[in-house]
Every structure is written in structure tokens, then in C-alpha cells.
Amino acid sequence: MRDLLFDTPWWLLTLLGLVGIVLFMSGNARQHKGLLRAGIAVILLGVVLAVVSYLVDTPREKVIKGTRALVKAAVDRDKTTLNAELHPNASLAGWKRLQIIDGAVAYADQFGLKSATITGMEVKQDEPSMMTVTMRVVAQFSGKQAYFDTVPTDWQLTWWETSNGQWLLKDVTPLGGGNLSGGQLAKQYFGGS
């Protein structure tokens, strides 16, 4: 029910709008005040749901925004945003939070990262305070690393909700890319196993 209120699907808003318009027009044509009021009420309900859905982010929307912000921060070499999105106990193939932040910036510089586009994302709520994002990213590089261009890499991100309602990234797991498995990516680039 919470998802219908705070993340109302477009088809439901469209349906409410159409039903409201039909009721309003039917009531107006027949001079039937009950139908007219019902039409206005249904249209207003659709407007209220649209506004609430727009203004309030569900946990799923927070995790999606956080994931997009994290990828953008890596491209922009933005340590402040990376720091804000990572859980205090974040890990990536044996790296801890500060190593992840410094490594993201160092690797972006080393490989000439120009852009990264999320081409697919699946969000799954595992527990009330934990969500898993599986995503595919295609990055573009400049210079000698350009042969990596258009090679998609797959990642799994585990987000945890803190006691103050904030969602932070706890675990990053490379799943693979190109001819490398997730374990090979972790070992080659992060020294993991």
C-alpha cells in the first residue's frame, strides 16, 4: 500500500484521470451533480497521488538515486559524494571505506574515465532494512585505456538503512565484465580474491 501512495505507477494515475474525466463529462451532460462531484473527486485524488509520489521518495527510490549518485561521483572524482553514500563499514573486495574512496578517484584518473552509464538496474528488497542493486555499467575512457570502451561490467551493491532512515552502500561486489569473472575483476583491480 505504501508503494501505491509514494510510488504511484503512471498507469494508475492515467486510469484515475480518465475515470474522473468520464464521470465529470457524464455528470455535466446529464446535469447530475453527484456524478459531477464524483468526477472532480477522482481527478483530485489522482492529482494528490501524483504530488505525493513526486515529493516523497520511497526506500527503493532512495537506493536508485544513491546508486546513480555514486556512479556519477566516481566519474566526477567527487570524494565528498562518495563519502556521503558509503556506509562506515563499506567493503569492496577487501578494501574498506577510505580505500574505496581513494581508489575510485585514483582509478578514474589512471584509466582516464570520461563517463559511465548505467544501462540496466534491478533493485530487490532482501530485508526491511537491506536492498540489493544489480547493475550493468558501460564506461568510456580516454587515451590508451580506450579499448575498455563499451565493455559492460556488472556489479552488485548492497544498501543498508541506518537508524536515521538514510540508505548507505555497504558492500560492492564486481560480478564480471568483458572476459573477466567477478573474482578476476576483484583480483586484478582491487587485489581481492
- The model carries a pTM of 0.73
Q: In this predicted structure, what is the pLDDT of residue 82?
A: 94
Virtual CA dihedral for 50, 54, 60, 62, nearest 10 degrees? -170
Residue 75: what pLDDT? 93
**Cβ contact 153:176 at 8 Å:** yes
Local confidence pLDDT in tens for the 193 residues of the chain: 556 666 677 888 888 889 999 998 988 888 888 888 999 999 999 898 888 877 777 888 899 999 999 999 999 999 999 999 999 999 998 899 999 999 889 888 888 888 899 999 999 988 888 999 999 998 888 865 555 566 788 999 999 999 888 999 999 998 988 777 777 777 767 665 4
Helices (H), 31-147: 33-55, 59-76, 79-85, 97-111
Is 36 in contact with 27 (CB distance < 8 Å)? yes
CA distance 126 to 60: 12
Q: Can you give the pLDDT at residue 10?
A: 81
Q: Residue 30: its pLDDT value, please?
A: 86
**Sole residue written with cell 538496474:** 121
Distance CA 60, CA 69 (A): 14
Q: Element (H or E) spanning 10, and its range? A: helix 10-30
Question: Where exactly are the structural domains of the chain?
Answer: 2-55, 59-190
Architecture of domain 59-190: Roll (3.10)
